[in-house]
Amino acid sequence: MDIYSRKRNSVLTFLFVGSFVFGLLIGFALCYAIFAGRGATPQVQQAALPPVEEPTPSGQTVEPTVEPTVEPPPPAPVETAQPPSAPAGIDELEDTWAARHFFVAVNGTKLDDKTRDMLAELKPGGVVLTAGNVKNKIQTIPFIKSIKEAVGLGKDIDSLPLIAVAQEGGKYNILNLPPAEAPSAAMIGERRDLEYARGAGLETAKSLEGRGIGILLAPVLDVFANGAPDAMKDRTFGTDYTTVRALALAFAEGVTQGNVIPVAKHFPGRGAEGGDGVSALATLPDSPAQTEIVFPFMEAAGHEVPGLLVGHVAAPGLDKEFPQRPASLSPELIQKLVRDKWQYKGVIIADDLSAPAISGSMKVEDAAVQAFAAGCDAVLLLDGDPDRVRAVAAAVDAAAAAGTLDRRLLSEGKKRLDAWQQWLRKPVPGLKGGIPELPPLEVAGEPGTAETPPAEPAAQQTHTVVKGDTLYKVATTYKVTIQQIRDWNKLKSDTLRVGQTLIVGAPAPAPEAEPAPAPEPPAEPAPAPAPETPPAAPAPAEGTPAPAVEPAAAAPETTPPAPAEGTAPVTEPAAAPESAQPPADVPAEEAAPEQPAAPAEGQPANTKAVMHKVKAGEFLATIASEYGVTYQDIMTWNGLTKTGIYAGQELKLYVPADASVPAAAPAAPAAPVAEEKPSTYTVQRGDFLGKIADAHGVTVKQLMDWNSLKSIDLQVGQVLKVKE
């Protein structure tokens, strides 16, 4: 009996333990199947299995140790196995990493191990070269190569990290370029020459591209206003917002033509009051001047400049929610104004977050999260500390993981940054809408006076083109304009050939143009010491022969020929055909017949008048170039006080008498009837005040005054008065 009991208990124990183990295995298999089918790998803690008993030698009694029976938990319902909700398009977000949105600085002219490790680990989207990184071109090129190699994502100009530099010229000549390639904004502003500004941008871009630099943190669109720091004076194009707009966009146009991406700065305008935006927060005045300071940036957005850098500038008049919040951290200015109202689609970068203007009041890590939340696509981190970059990257990743920073914003920013890489692979030179016209220069307080062109060289010279010469370089060397060189040499293209001879200076006046010294002004043949118009000579006595004509009648050779023999003495003009006779009440000298049609008042000699009807998208500069004249001439001939023109407007131009003119330019009618300008305009999508002002030949200020506008923002469908 005892033996039987032992045998039975042994069998029961084996069956019980085997069933328990088998049940656990089945439970785990079901859990695995459910979670694997859902595409998720749950983190399951391994359960401790009961020990498997070794077979016992026969004849030995084994007292089973029975653990409390634990039923395996039933598989979790399908609903509870769902992973946390993810943003739509999660697959598109997988390749977004925080440092992709950083433009960092590095220390020294060679990479140290700590910096190299940070670059390899974080793979930042950009590196900004500073003055401390650059000696010369020979050193800069391998230095950039070492940065690309450390990151390991490619070695081309469009490979990450993109290389950027704030090369502004003048005192901010970071790359140590020669003066001809690096004029300051103030120097360009003094010349007030759009071609010179465009040429400066083109030459700067060529220098950058030759070193492997694809991003230029310039031009500066700040307007130098009262109260601005003196340091900004050399960095700005002037004090007039329309001049700043035109010259800065001309410079940006040249940069794009050199296959480099320009980034306009420092929105909404750092040349204002308060701090400098670096050591202390600057403030945009909440006054009418605010509109003029912001205007160039609105124009840059409208002309689709590829990049916009937002400064540490508070704008109380634009950010009502937090008046002292820096624009670089403000969704009101970045998202609502620039993105939504201005419809800007380029890259927006926050200025250096490690600058005291920001780091003095908050952690750089927190500032970075706020900048991305406000709508920035990238941020500058320029203190060169690898540990700081790591800390900021960790903070951004943590905020995105916690949901306090919407990953969709990072994803959209990455797409715009990717577009920069595509642009560098296949540049699209030129800005949308071309370059705006310069406003007329006001001289001695008289508005509307056209600017005086640069003085011509004292004497005509020649220049032989050498390797590396461009029209811009030649014009800068001789202190003339590019257009003057084109005119003097009748150039059809801006491409120069080595060895080509260029004329610099207007040709000397032809000898025949000088008044001939020989026949001294036969201007009114000196009335031969007129017998002092003798008092009426007494009539000869009847029968006395007529007195012979005095020598006065036999005029000197230089006087008009004497009347033919037998004709009456010249006491009255010879009878003219009746049709040519002047009205009786018009003095004879005023009614002289037009021998060939006398030129109209203001018409240059040897020219003919033609009319040009303005087409949409044309500017005075493009029309002047088409006809080989200057836009100042067109303004003078048509009595224009502003450079703005509108489609359908008719302009009178004077071209050389033997010149062929475009088919669309008919001869000017005797009395052209000016086409009446429309008095109102309905705002279309993509319109902005500067564009509307230019199209109707008025100023932004006039539009704002006539329409009582308190802001530069417009609404589609809004009706504006465009004529007083």
CATH of the domain at 233: 3.20.20.300
Residues 342 and 483 reside in one and the same domain: no
List, in sequence order, every residue forming a beta bridge with 397; answer none if it has no partner: none
| Distance (Å) of CA 541 to CA 337, 445, 533 | 104, 74, 21
Contact indicator for 630, 453 with CB cutoff of 8 Å: yes
CA distance 240 to 426: 35
CA distance 415 to 417: 5
Contact indicator for 396, 98 with CB cutoff of 8 Å: yes
For residue 633, give the nearest of 658, 614, 659, 651 by alpha carbon: 651
For residue 488, give the nearest of 475, 507, 473 by alpha carbon: 507
Helix (H, G, I), strand (E, B) or coil at 506: coil
Strand 650-656 to 607-613 pairing: antiparallel
pLDDT of 211 = 95
pLDDT of 625 = 67
Position 550 in a domain? no
Residues 242 and 368 reside in one and the same domain: yes
Structure tokens at 42: 């749950």
List, in sequence order, every residue forming a beta bridge with 310; answer none if it has no partner: 267, 350
Residue 11: burial class (beta carbons within 10 Å; 0-12, 13-18, 19+): exposed
pLDDT digits (tens, 9 = 90+) for 573-584: 444 444 334 444
Residues 602, 608, 613, 615, Cα dihedral to 10°: -100
The domain boundary, picked from 425, 446, 480, lies at 425
Position 664 in a domain? yes
pLDDT of 418 = 95
Residues 343 and 196 reside in one and the same domain: yes
| Distance (Å) of CA 246 to CA 172, 238, 256, 300, 418 | 21, 11, 16, 10, 29
Position 13 in a domain? yes
Residues 72 and 198 reside in one and the same domain: no
Residues 663 and 686 reside in one and the same domain: no
Structure tokens at 716: 């589609």
Residue 709: burial class (beta carbons within 10 Å; 0-12, 13-18, 19+): middle
Q: Which residue type sits at 390?
A: R
CA distance 237 to 220: 8
Position 451 in a domain? no
Contact indicator for 72, 27 with CB cutoff of 8 Å: yes
CA distance 197 to 253: 9
Position 125 in a domain? yes
Residue recorded with tokens 């890489």: 421
Question: How many domains are contained in the chain?
Answer: 5
**Ranges of the chain with pLDDT below 70:** 1-95, 226-229, 271-276, 441-458, 468, 493-494, 507-602, 616-622, 625, 631-632, 641-644, 661-677, 686
Residue 608, H or E segment:
strand 607-613
Residues 77 and 112 reside in one and the same domain: no
Longest CA–CA separation in the chain, Å: 200
CATH of the domain at 680: 3.10.350.10
Position 119 in a domain? yes
Half-sphere CA count of 310, side-chain side, radius 13 A: 32
CA distance 553 to 161: 96
pLDDT of 21 = 59
Task: Please state the pTM of the whole predicted model.
Answer: 0.60
Residues 663 and 685 reside in one and the same domain: no
> Sheet holding 273-274: strands in order across?
273-274, 282-283, 313-314
Position 544 in a domain? no
Residues 607 and 723 reside in one and the same domain: no
pLDDT digits (tens, 9 = 90+) for 352-381: 999 998 988 899 999 999 999 999 999 999
The domain boundary, picked from 81, 114, 135, lies at 81
Residues 370 and 469 reside in one and the same domain: no
Phi, psi dihedral angles at 475 (to 5 degrees) = -60, -40
Residues 689 and 664 reside in one and the same domain: no
Residues 119 and 13 reside in one and the same domain: no
Give the distance from CA 35 to its chain's centroid.
54
Half-sphere CA count of 261, side-chain side, radius 13 A: 28
Helix (H, G, I), strand (E, B) or coil at 623: helix
Structure tokens at 373: 């939340």
Q: Which residues of 447-476 are buried (b: 16+ CB within 10 A; e: fewer)?
A: eeebeeebebeeeeeebebeeebbbbbbbb
pLDDT of 39 = 40
Half-sphere CA count of 88, side-chain side, radius 13 A: 1
Contact indicator for 525, 519 with CB cutoff of 8 Å: no
Give the distance from CA 714 to its chain's centroid.
21
CA distance 721 to 15: 97
- The boundaries of the domain holding residue 350 are 97-425
The domain boundary, picked from 54, 81, 108, lies at 81
pLDDT of 587 = 45
Report DSSP state, residue 336: I
Residues 6+ apart with CB under 8 A from 207: 167, 175, 177, 181, 182
Contact indicator for 403, 376 with CB cutoff of 8 Å: no
CA distance 325 to 319: 8
Residue 706: burial class (beta carbons within 10 Å; 0-12, 13-18, 19+): middle
Residues 45 and 149 reside in one and the same domain: no
pLDDT of 451 = 42
Residue recorded with tokens 């109707």: 696
pLDDT of 673 = 46
List, in sequence order, every residue forming a beta bridge with 164; answer none if it has no partner: 128, 215
Position 60 in a domain? yes
